[in-house]
Amino acid sequence: MQPLAIHADRLLTPFEDIVDGVVVVQGSKIIEAGPRGRVVLPRGARQITARGKTIVPGFVDVHIHGAGGRDVMAGNAESLEIVAGTVARFGTTSFVATTVTASLMETCDSVGGIARFMLKSSETAARELSAEILGIHFEGPFISKARRGVHPQEWILAPSTEVLAQLLQEARGTAQILTLAPELPGALDLIAAAREAGLVVSLGHTDANYEQAQAAIAAGATHAAHVFNAMRPFSHRGTGVIGAVMTSPRVSAELIADKVHVDEPAMRMLLEMKTPERVILVSDGTSATGMPDGKYQLGNFQVKVSGGVCRNAEGKLAGSTLTLDRALRNIVAMGVPLASALRMVTANPARQIGLGSRKGVLAPGADADLVFLDDKLEVAGVMTRGAGFDQA
Ligand SMILES: [Zn+2]
């Protein structure tokens, strides 16, 4: 396959800021990325120039439920392809398909479907613009009834290693993240079992106090789902799970940076406390992402979208219509340097799920997942594993 050399005004790898750079792609992989003067182009390489653009790694979303009118819980190839195709247009080139709490039977069906789709698509190289599904994030069923948000109460379960084993069996090696409430009886045993199975354990939809959250972190939890949302609130004499997450350096914090879920001063506190290395921007996107206002499904319940904000029948926030390109612009608009903000949608999420050398980075051997940003940080072009891109 003929190598493709793409020249651009700037590359953000995101660890290095390179002026006048070139990314060389062969098939689905990056084979070289660096300053124009230092990269030796392979013989016969086709060359194109992305004038006025910055090339950055494709975004990695570790918490997303759907897009383009489809929910990942549908679990069928058609729906998953629509979700993957929709988010790719906004620069998300890979994601972790996230379940919502549903009956165990329904969850098993969804997980089985997603796993089947993933294992099948890994055999065939994508030829169109389409994000890669990297695994499954279980949001529930082991969450707090007091902090369930819009997750249906009737399907919430007490922590159970047997139920987890059942979910893992359906997932056939594709499970990545388990979000749970650590204060529930049996949660520490569940954390041990999840760690044993290689999952990232995430604190979320939780009413945990500081001590309970610390115990979970000591037991191996390293992640926190959409921090501030669906958590016991912070108080100076009862700092709760937020206090534990903020002061534990090895815990990464998800943030829904749509300016609706979390107010700007709280976002600033999180960025200061966790540093750009430990913040992961997520969309928590629903099927309404990339669609006009209206009524949509989230798992097996309906949400209403008005002005781009998703709420359920009770008026509770129900996920978002956020895309990671917008999240990135929102963070940069707060004064955060682009290179730092970029880590929060690329290298940080990729590293958290153990894919730091394949995703979220412009480097030899990484997947050719590229986003071309214009000077307003709008997405001007996207490449997914070498496909779907002609001219920036
Ligand atoms: Zn949630």
pLDDT (tens digit per residue) in 268-280: 999 999 999 999 9
pLDDT at residue 390 is higher than 70: no
Q: Which of 284, 325, 367, 369 is catalytic?
A: 284
From the CA of 72, how far away is ligand 1's center (Å)?
14
pLDDT at residue 366 is higher than 60: yes
Residues 40 and 83 placed together within one structural domain of the fold: no
* 42 found inside a domain: yes
- High-pLDDT (> 90) share of the chain, %: 94
Residues 97 and 238 placed together within one structural domain of the fold: yes
pLDDT digits 0-9 by tens, 184-239: 999 999 999 999 999 999 999 999 999 999 999 999 999 999 999 999 999 999 99
Domain ranges, residue 378: 4-56+366-383
Per the structure, the count of domains in the chain is 2
From the CA of 149, how far away is ligand 1's center (Å)?
7
Under the banding of pLDDT at 50, 70 and 90, the label for residue 374 is very high
Q: Cα–Cα distance between 49 and 41 in angstroms, integer?
A: 14
Residues 158 and 211 placed together within one structural domain of the fold: yes
* 284 classed as catalytic: yes
Sign of CA dihedral 149, 151, 157, 162: negative
* 261 found inside a domain: yes
Q: How many Å is the Cα radius of gyration of the chain?
A: 20
Mean model confidence pLDDT for the chain = 96
- High-pLDDT (> 70) share of the chain, %: 98
pLDDT digits 0-9 by tens, 40-96: 999 999 999 999 999 999 999 999 999 999 999 999 999 999 999 999 999 999 999
Closest CA to 221 of 184, 253, 243: 253
Strands in the chain per DSSP E? 4-12, 17-26, 29-35, 46-57, 59-64, 66-67, 70-71, 92-99, 132-139, 175-180, 200-203, 223-224, 252-255, 279-281, 294-298, 301-306, 309-311, 370-373, 379-383
Please enumerate in sequence order all residues whose Cβ is within 8 A of that of 275, keeping only pairs 6 or more positions apart, or say none.
none
The two tokens of residue 23 are 């990314």
Residues 94 and 216 placed together within one structural domain of the fold: yes
pLDDT at residue 392 is higher than 60: no
* 361 found inside a domain: no
Residues 241 and 300 placed together within one structural domain of the fold: yes
Of 390 and 116, more confident: 116
* 275 found inside a domain: yes
Assign residue 67 the CATH number of its domain: 3.20.20.140
From the CA of 182, how far away is ligand 1's center (Å)?
15
From the CA of 100, how far away is ligand 1's center (Å)?
8
The CA distances from residue 110 to 117, 218, 295, in Å, are 11, 31, 22
Residues 176 and 247 placed together within one structural domain of the fold: yes
Dihedrals φ, ψ of 102, to 5°?
-150, 180
Assign residue 22 the CATH number of its domain: 2.30.40.10
* 389 found inside a domain: no
Residues 189 and 51 placed together within one structural domain of the fold: no
From the CA of 226, how far away is ligand 1's center (Å)?
7
From the CA of 303, how far away is ligand 1's center (Å)?
14
Residues 63 and 192 placed together within one structural domain of the fold: yes
* 308 found inside a domain: yes
pLDDT digits 0-9 by tens, 25-39: 999 999 999 999 999
Q: Cα–Cα distance between 67 and 80 in angstroms, integer?
A: 9
pLDDT at residue 316 is higher than 50: yes
Residues 286 and 343 placed together within one structural domain of the fold: yes
From the CA of 205, how far away is ligand 1's center (Å)?
6
In this structure, are residues 16 and 343 in contact, taking their beta carbons and an 8 Å threshold? Answer: no
Residues 110 and 244 placed together within one structural domain of the fold: yes
* 9 found inside a domain: yes
Residues 119 and 198 placed together within one structural domain of the fold: yes
From the CA of 277, how far away is ligand 1's center (Å)?
22
Residues 222 and 291 placed together within one structural domain of the fold: yes
pLDDT digits 0-9 by tens, 197-211: 999 999 999 999 999
Q: Name the residue with tokens 């949001």.
A: 139
* 359 found inside a domain: no
